Structure 1
């Protein structure tokens, strides 16, 4: 049997940590002084779903293409999943994430989409509280991550794989809902990156 393959695209304002997210996930590596990426690239990985199906995932980094907003839709038009990344310390990046969501819903409404709140290692500087109600209204999963520490990175990709897989399969199973609640409860108790 051939391996099922998904294309996932990371979207978000420049500097939110999209390339660092991918490097942490694929290479388990982090560079504090990551230069802004200038070309789109993808990294491949295999993820196993909760029912033990292996999925080949291509993680696309739009890498700097957000400056050319007319080009960006060509990367996510045929994507199976979208990871909209924002920096929890930058309100402008959260507002931009909401704009990306509108564009994705217009261009590729069938794509499974999640929000990734990156840089949760900087929780003390977080401005996320002012946006939580607005983000919750979208109904999308919100996963807190830190490319620096690795917190939540694998979970974000695995959750998107499972959501996409079960959605395409026509199953009502939503593996992320229980994970999301557990993560939120854990977050309330001890912070996201401890």
Structure 2
């Protein structure tokens, strides 16, 4: 690829309210976990992160969506152009696992048919209500590409989930023209731009830049903003 461009992959994170989507994204983008984080995502927020996976430099745009029902119709439009979707449930909340089929139905309606699907059982540090074998069965029955049990608190498998997703996106770009055409894959990089590079413990990935704060998008109306419930999502 040209030195003046780099791949840009859009990832979207969905799942029921309170499964830890925002904490999952924050752990990956900033290596942080805020105990008792209770502010609900209102609409959609996103963070950017520059990474190197298998010697390829990539910009990730990670879209963190609200789990509340009133935002569902708005969120559908954000599947457009997404290369991968992380579908989260909490291993300590049985109802969040049972609602996965609803999220899949929405995904099938709104996303490209070749979007890479990653099933994530979050909160693996807590007491289990959903068995791993159940999730693996659900994964296989619904054509997910990957499955991870993660902890946004300890960081277990969080980085691995994103790294493996990037690898799959790159692979699919080379094997499917329709997939490649369905995602926005390239952005310009100024020739004189400077970036600080820090190396991660895993040689397959180097973090070059991450956003310090998510960017909150405008929601349906101000009234919904003011009345959104302050619960973890």
Same fold (TM over 0.5): yes
Contact 1:13 1:66 (8 Å CA) reproduced: no
Distance in 1, Cα, partners of 2:103 & 2:13:
10
- Listed as ranges, the matches of 1:54-73 within 5 Å are 54-64=57-67, 66-73=69-76
Distance in 2, Cα, partners of 1:146 & 1:31:
13
Residue 166 of structure 1 is matched in structure 2 by 171
1:84-124: CA deviation from partner (whole Å, max 9, x where unpaired): 111011121112222212221232112111111100111x3
Structure 2 gap ranges (5+): 177-233
C-alpha deviation, 1:136, in angstroms:
2.5
Distance in 2, Cα, partners of 1:67 & 1:88:
24
Residue 53 of structure 2 is matched in structure 1 by 49
Work out which of the two has the higher radius of gyration on C-alpha atoms and give 1 or 2: 2
- Alignment equivalent of 2:21, drawn from 18, 31, 34: 18
Distance in 2, Cα, partners of 1:67 & 1:14:
12
For the structure 1 residues 29 and 121, does the alpha-carbon distance in structure 2 shift closer, same or farther, using more than 3 Å as the test? same
Determine helix, strand or coil for the equivalent of 1:69.
helix
Which one has the bigger helix percentage? 1
- Alignment equivalent of 1:148, drawn from 153, 156, 164: 153
For the structure 1 residues 16 and 77, does the alpha-carbon distance in structure 2 shift closer, same or farther, using more than 3 Å as the test? same
Contact 2:97 2:130 (8 Å CA) reproduced: no
Q: Aligned-residue CA RMSD in angstroms?
A: 1.8
- Listed as ranges, the matches of 1:64-143 within 5 Å are 64=67, 66-108=69-111, 109-122=113-126, 124-128=127-131, 129-140=133-144, 141-143=146-148
Runs of 4+ in 1 over 4 A off after TM superposition: none
C-alpha deviation, 1:77, in angstroms:
2.4
Distance in 2, Cα, partners of 1:136 & 1:79:
22
Distance in 1, Cα, partners of 2:134 & 2:168:
27
C-alpha deviation, 1:26, in angstroms:
0.8
C-alpha deviation, 1:9, in angstroms:
0.4
Structure 1 gap ranges (5+): 172-194
Contact 2:13 2:87 (8 Å CA) reproduced: yes
1:39-65: CA deviation from partner (whole Å, max 9, x where unpaired): 411111122232x11110001011345
Distance in 1, Cα, partners of 2:66 & 2:29:
16
TM-score normalised by length of structure 2: 0.67
Which one has the bigger strand percentage? 2
